[in-house]
Amino acid sequence: MRPLEVVILAGHLLTVGWLYAHIQGSPAAEQAAVLIVPLVIVLHVLWEKPRWQMAPAYGQAGVVLAVAWAGKWTAFGVNGWAIFCGIILYLASVVLPYVLAVPHLPRPAGPYAVGTRTFYLVDKTRSDAFGPDQTEPRELMVQVWYPAEKKPNARRAPFIADFKIGGPAIARRFGFPPFVVRHVDLVRTHSFLAAPAAEAGGPFPVLTFSHGYLGLHSQNTWQMEELASQGYVVVAPNHTRGAIVTVFPDGRVVFGLTTLPDDMSPEQAGRLGMQQWAADVQFVLDQLACWQAEVGHSFYGRLDLSRIGCFGHSMGGGAAVHLAAGEARCRALLLLDPWLRPVDEAILQQGLDVPVLSLMSEGEFGRINGQLAEQLTANGRADGLVATIAGTGHYDYSDLPLLSPATRLFGAKGPINGRRAARIINDYTLAFFDTYLRERPSPLLKEAKPYPEVQIHPV
């Protein structure tokens, strides 16, 4: 919960207790005491912004204020039914803001501030494989996180852009009514909109990220911000019709596909989707080369395109495998609980020429995806590791577990603490890309074992 929310709830408890214990029959003192919480609520509304989960707390403040101000506190206080209702209201005031708290993303640990920009790109050489009009070009929204110069009064980026559209889509994805997730729009990121790219330390290595099916390009914000703070430029396309929602600059909205074409199995559709997503990333890499060479562009001279790594979650991991198999610019590949069943069998049998690290939940490792990750790694012609992180679930490799402690109840995460999972994943991500893109070997990939949850599997 946010600071003033904690003060409001503590204030309710202390105020009511103090009124009962010390000042019954003193209307002036009662009226003064019950003003404290409403004043804090005013500050909370102005600074932190209100949210529906705090409605019981707001209501309780109004009831207590009205009763005490009318000079009826003593009569109200001895009514057992009123006491019972007050307890229920207070419990609701505590439980709702806790279970559906405004999340706090982990603060990036690197030396750089984090900037972010979003771009609209059109690939006129390709159509959308799943689009209704095969004559229309492929359109993408792409977000970039990068090492930045922090400027005074810089504006923080929203956690999810166009949340009024995307929020309800996300709620429906997990079977919730839209109002349940409204508080997510109050999340404060550590990224600054359109901040100038850092001058010192560049040009910077580049990483591409592909989200999972019906995910979002910003679904791993904690990871993007950490990588950017450590001196990487991270580029994430929102894979149109594979993302849960895409909003274009002209206001058009494209939702992710939830039904398959009649003539396709899930594996066939997955393979076609992965191939399209890999082509999306290749197109984005071509655009990066243009930006790097364009005098006056915000990324002019700031990108080291000789050091490119790729990573992805779930279906995005499978797409990254397809990308690495056919794209020489990719020099290292990280897979986050990847969905590998649709990956072309020839790729799995032949392996890859680049280092591969697969970080997996125990559940996915114990299924066909784990076997395929081991096969891909064993057949590779470069370094490769397959590791599991005990206690993680499939969505622990995204922002989702940080959004509410209740996510485990809905099967959205494993038993591991979400922040610890994020720390482990970030440490291994940095160790891997630092080793193979910056020539800074990390003992974390070999003998060092600071995290007992991590098990490296021989292949």
CA–CA separation, 204 and 349 (whole Å):
34
Q: Is residue 105, in this structure, part of any structural domain at all? A: no
Residue with tokens 């690197």: 110
Residue type, 196: P
- pLDDT interval class at 449 (50, 70, 90): confident
Question: Which residues, 6+ apart, have CB-to-CB distance to 100 below 8 Å?
Answer: 53, 180, 183, 404, 406
Reduced 3-state DSSP string for 40-100? HHHHHHHHCCCCHHHHHHHHHHHHHHHHHHCCCHHHHHCCHHHHHHHHHHHHHHHHHHHHC
127 and 165 assigned to the same domain? yes
Q: What is the pLDDT of residue 75?
A: 45
- CB-neighbour burial class of residue 451 (10 A; exposed 0-12, middle 13-18, buried 19+): middle
pLDDT digits (tens, 9 = 90+) for 119-175: 999 999 999 999 888 889 999 999 999 999 988 888 999 998 888 888 887 777 777
Helix (H) or strand (E) run with residue 389 in it: strand 384-389
Hey, what are 45's tokens? 């509304």
436 and 353 assigned to the same domain? yes
Q: What is the pLDDT of residue 70?
A: 61
Q: What average pLDDT does the chain have?
A: 88
Number of domains in the chain: 2
48 and 148 assigned to the same domain? no
Tell whether the model's pLDDT for residue 412 goes beyond 80: no
Which of 6 and 301 is assigned the larger pLDDT? 301
Among residues 67, 99, 131, the one where a domain terminates is 99
Reduced 3-state DSSP string for 252-276? CEEECCCCCCCCCCHHHHHHHHHHH
pLDDT digits (tens, 9 = 90+) for 339-380: 999 999 999 999 999 999 999 999 999 999 999 999 999 999
Query: Mean pLDDT over residues 28-40, rounded?
Result: 69
Q: What is the pLDDT of residue 356?
A: 98
302 and 206 assigned to the same domain? yes
211 and 355 assigned to the same domain? yes
Q: What is the pLDDT of residue 63?
A: 72
421 and 312 assigned to the same domain? yes
Q: Is residue 35, in this structure, part of any structural domain at all? A: yes
Do residues 40 and 7 make contact, with C-beta atoms less than 8 angstroms apart?
Answer: yes
- pLDDT interval class at 184 (50, 70, 90): confident
Give the long-range contacts of residues 133-139, CB within 8 A, separation 24 or more: 138/240, 138/276, 138/279, 138/280, 138/283, 139/240, 139/248
Hey, what are 134's tokens? 């095969």
Helix (H) or strand (E) run with residue 29 in it: helix 27-33
- pLDDT interval class at 401 (50, 70, 90): confident
Among residues 39, 67, 99, the one where a domain terminates is 99
250 and 286 assigned to the same domain? yes
Residue with tokens 């082509």: 279
Query: In 3-state terms, the chain is what percent helix, strand and coil (to 5)?
Result: 45, 20, 35
Q: Is residue 63, in this structure, part of any structural domain at all? A: yes
Distances (CA, A) of 413 to 246, 276, 300, 401: 25, 28, 40, 6
Centre a 10 Å sphere on the Cβ of residue 39 and count the other Cβ atoms it contains: 11
Do residues 214 and 339 make contact, with C-beta atoms less than 8 angstroms apart?
Answer: no
Among residues 76, 99, 122, the one where a domain terminates is 99
Q: What CATH number is associated with residue 122?
A: 3.40.50.1820
Q: Is residue 108, in this structure, part of any structural domain at all? A: no
Q: Is residue 235, in this structure, part of any structural domain at all? A: yes
48 and 174 assigned to the same domain? no
Q: What is the pLDDT of residue 106?
A: 93
By percentage, how much of the chain surpasses pLDDT 90?
A: 62
DSSP state of 231: T
94 and 159 assigned to the same domain? no
For the ranges 22-36, 252-266, 312-326, 400-414, the lowest mean pLDDT is seen at 22-36
Which of 451 and 70 is assigned the larger pLDDT? 451
245 and 324 assigned to the same domain? yes
Do residues 96 and 1 make contact, with C-beta atoms less than 8 angstroms apart?
Answer: no
Q: DSSP H helical segments within 120-220, as ranges?
A: 163-173
Tell whether the model's pLDDT for residue 74 goes beyond 60: no
Q: What is the pLDDT of residue 397?
A: 98
Do residues 112 and 228 make contact, with C-beta atoms less than 8 angstroms apart?
Answer: yes
252 and 389 assigned to the same domain? yes
For the ranges 279-293, 296-310, 314-328, 406-420, the lowest mean pLDDT is seen at 406-420
User: Pairing between strand 113-127 and 188-193?
Assistant: parallel
Residue with tokens 């580049």: 206
Q: Is residue 380, in this structure, part of any structural domain at all? A: yes
pLDDT digits (tens, 9 = 90+) for 196-239: 999 999 999 999 999 999 999 999 999 999 999 999 999 999 99
Q: CA nearest 186: which of 289, 62, 263, 103? A: 103
Hey, what are 261's tokens? 């074409």
Q: Is residue 196, in this structure, part of any structural domain at all? A: yes
Q: Is residue 205, in this structure, part of any structural domain at all? A: yes
For residue 11, the enclosing domain spans: 3-99
268 and 326 assigned to the same domain? yes
Which of the residue ranges 168-177, 266-275, 429-438 has the most confident prediction, judged by mean pLDDT? 429-438
Query: Mean pLDDT over residues 318-345, rounded?
Result: 98
Strand order in the sheet with 113-127: 156-158, 188-193, 113-127, 137-148, 233-238, 204-210, 303-313, 330-336, 356-360, 384-389, 454-457
